[in-house]
A = this chain, B = another copy of it.
Amino acid sequence: MSLIVQKYGGTSVGSIERIRAVADRVNACRERGDQLVVVVSAMSGETDRLQSLAREIQERPSPRELDVLLSTGEQVTIALLSMALEALGCPAKSYTGGQVHIRTDNSHSKARIRDIDGARVKADLNAGRVVVIAGFQGVDDEGNITTLGRGGSDTSAVAMAAALGADECQIYTDVDGVYTTDPRIEPRARKLDHITFEEMLEMASLGAKVLQIRAVEFAGKYKVPLRVLSSFEEGEGTLISLEEETVEDAVISGIAFNRDEAKLTILGVPDQPGVAYEILGPISDANIDVDMIVQNIAADEATTDFTFTVNRNDFARAMEILDSTAKTLGAREVMGDDRIVKISLVGVGMRSHAGIASRMFASLAKEGINIRMISTSEIKISVVVDQKYLELGVRTLHDAFGLQHADEAIRDLDSATDMVVV
């Protein structure tokens, strides 16, 4: 008998019919002998409906009250799913985040889970019930309702699995697993059977948005095996787990990309200690997240060139701020480009294999794709290229590393080229 936490997103519970289908699936798992906790999101469209009600009243409604409002969305789903389970003769009980003490900090609309009291849930499981829990929500120390932000239901599910010591946390979604890259760009993209937490983190943060990044961090931290599956089709999905449990040992697991990048460069900044802080401080004070950062010594060796990327929506604001910083610092010039994209190779196998970077750069060069920026981490190499090269770049790399077939995935690199450090 396994203890499984299953999470169903908004699309999976988007209608009464779909809620019934989820109940069928849950009940089937229970009849196979597993103990089940089910975490659900609001029915698709419901959160938007509630949010537009709020916006009719106030452009920026109070975060506390917005959480009170939005948390009703999941509460509706838990009640309906429990009813659907009971209609099948499956004993079930629903709980809001507050009722099972999903305790969070008090950052309304983006709260973080601190702890969960699993005792009540365990008692129900031992009594043979399926427990249905509202995702995305919790309560702070004073009993105020909080929400974890969009997609937070994944985190709820993982946190619940960690608190209960569950054998697996299954995230049901509208895709059937994690792919080597986006199949809309590379039709030969292949579903992965396994991937490590670290790889998934890089894939998720780079735009392959199957799972909420915080949920993956949580799962990695508490070593909760995580599985992404389709709620509409049968299949094993993709298991996300620790490295040692991974069966596949391909060097590269996948290719992620991000279309929302914009690049800013400040040229000829006098090279002195603290210059990076003086450039990026005002940007972060304006609540603009910076992604890649690259610094080079300029040709004259007395000044430095500094390049970073931000989300494209923040580009105009960031350019303004950088212009004014340039004046203060006496820099020579500011340049910007919001027609760029980032493409990343991800794989834990990279750690022990050299030659990845050179093969990557060579393949791109062969297709005439100019690399504008490079950044690396232990398990990832990212390049910035002109956005017109996104599709060609992804397909070129997918092919160069043989990702379309599990058997062909490169395992035998022997080039001496090591990680590129810029």
Contacts and interface: CB of A to CB of B under 8 A. Distances in A.
Given A16-B53, A53-B76, A76-B72, A83 B98 contact: no
Contacts of A144: 99
A58 interface: yes
A83 B94 CA distance: 28
Contacts of A20: 57
A96 B53 CA distance: 19
Interface stretch (A61-69, A257-265, A351-359): A61-69
Given A57-B16, A57-B20, A62 B50 contact: no
B19 A57 contact: yes
Looking at chain A's contact residues, the main secondary structure is helix
B99 A83 contact: no
Contacts of A53: 16, 76, 80
A113 to B, nearest CB: 19
Contacts of A65: 79-80, 82-83, 86, 94
A86 B65 CA distance: 10
Interface in A68-102: 68-69, 71-72, 75-76, 78-80, 82-84, 86-87, 93-94, 96, 98-99
A84 B98 CA distance: 25
B72 A86 contact: no
A65 B94 CA distance: 7
A79 B86 contact: no
Contacts of A62: 82-83, 86
A131 to B, nearest CB: 13
Given A16-B53, A62-B86, A83-B61, A75 B76 contact: no
A174 B54 CA distance: 25
A58 B84 CA distance: 7
Copies in the complex: 2
Q: Of A50, A65, A145, which is in contact with the most chain B CB atoms at under 10 Å from its CB?
A: A65
A234 interface: no
Counting chain A residues whose Cβ lies within 8 A of the other chain, the interface size class is: 35 or more
A143 interface: yes
Contacts of A86: 58, 61-62, 65
A56 interface: yes
A80 B99 contact: no
A318 B80 CA distance: 35
A79 B58 contact: no
A87 to B, nearest CB: 5
A86 B63 CA distance: 12
Given A62-B86, A72-B72, A86-B65, A79 B98 contact: no
A410 B372 CA distance: 97
Q: Of A20, A54, A57, A78, which is in contact with the most chain B CB atoms at under 10 Å from its CB?
A: A57
A311 B106 CA distance: 52
A58 B89 CA distance: 12
Nearest to A101: B143
Contacts of A78: 68
Nearest to A91: B62
Contacts of A69: 75-76, 79-80, 83
Interface string A14-37: 001001100000000000000000
Interface of A: 16, 19-20, 50, 53-54, 56-58, 61-62, 64-66, 68-69, 71-72, 75-76, 78-80, 82-84, 86-87, 93-94, 96, 98-99, 143-145
Kindly list the 8 A-B residue pairs having the minimum CB-CB distance in the complex, ordered from nearest: A69-B79, A72-B72, A68-B79, A61-B83, A16-B56, A65-B79, A65-B82, A57-B83
14 contacts: A16-B56, A57-B80, A57-B83, A58-B83, A61-B83, A61-B86, A62-B83, A62-B86, A65-B79, A65-B86, A66-B83, A68-B96, A69-B76, A72-B76
